[in-house]
Chains A and B, each alone.
Chain A
Amino acid sequence: MPKEEVGCARPTGAMVGETGNTQAKKENLVEEKKRMSEVRVGAKAPDFVAPAYYHGGFTTVKLSDFLGKWTLLCFYPGDFTFV
């Protein structure tokens, strides 16, 4: 995985596999959220970069790096919670 520095998780502003506004600036984030809030089955997944823990190290994960593979994206409420 590339070591792109990222302060906090953010959408890249593009859909997976598409170029576009890949440098979504923080001040544009609210607008980006509005524009991209429609996540639908049958449509491209919104791309994002986020800091991550992986195999004992800290890295950055980018959804579009998983193009070409089946990918499962799972959100959950929190670490050390019960379910």
Chain B
Amino acid sequence: MISVSVDSQFVHKMWNDHELVKMVGHDVPFHMASDGPGNVGSIYGVYDENAGVEMRGRFIIDPDGIIQAMEIMTPPVGRQLKETIRQIQAYQHVRASKGTEACPAGWEPGKKTLKPGPDLVGNVWKVWSPKTDH
């Protein structure tokens, strides 16, 4: 996990020490990176030059360095961490199956996966229901 904003690493320390510790009860456990000039945010398409801040960009990167998922939101609405974790778990499951399984809509660990192949074409309705499996 790496967090990034345009604030300096020194301000990150102050935010950790004076607010976040009080909020969660311990130090931030990940790297808080500083992107003052917006160089990193620019290449990720999340830096707003006019406001001089980063949008809420979230990128799930797999062990090979491939971006598997992204989400970009404007500032006034916060993220849903549960959904991020669900997506990471689903991508981990797909990777562990070496791509033989796929995670349908609403999938969570323990729920039914699908095995894409010729036999499944037109037959998803037989093995997966939005009412019982979603």
Contacts and interface: CB of A to CB of B under 8 A. Distances in A.
A75 B68 CA distance: 16
Interface in B1-54: 1-16, 19, 27-37, 39-46, 51, 53-54
Contacts, number: 188
Contacts of A67: 63-65
Interface string A4-40: 0000111100011100000000000100110011011
Contacts of A80: 11, 15, 19
Contacts of B91: 70
B60 interface: yes
Given A15-B65, A41-B68, A72-B60, A79 B45 contact: no
Nearest to A33: B42
Contacts of A71: 1-2, 60-61
**Is the interface on chain A under 10, 10 to 19, 20 to 34, or 35 or more residues?**
35 or more
A48 B43 contact: yes
Interface residues of B, number: 64
Contacts of B105: none
A37 B45 contact: yes
A6 B55 CA distance: 24
Nearest to B3: A74
Interface of A: 1, 8-11, 15-17, 29, 32-33, 36-37, 39-48, 50-56, 58-59, 61, 63-64, 66-81, 83
10 closest A-B pairs by CB: A16-B65, A53-B12, A79-B15, A75-B54, A75-B57, A50-B33, A9-B35, A17-B65, A61-B31, A71-B61
17 contacts: A42-B66, A47-B65, A52-B12, A52-B33, A53-B34, A55-B29, A58-B10, A61-B33, A63-B2, A67-B65, A70-B60, A70-B63, A73-B4, A73-B59, A75-B56, A77-B5, A80-B19
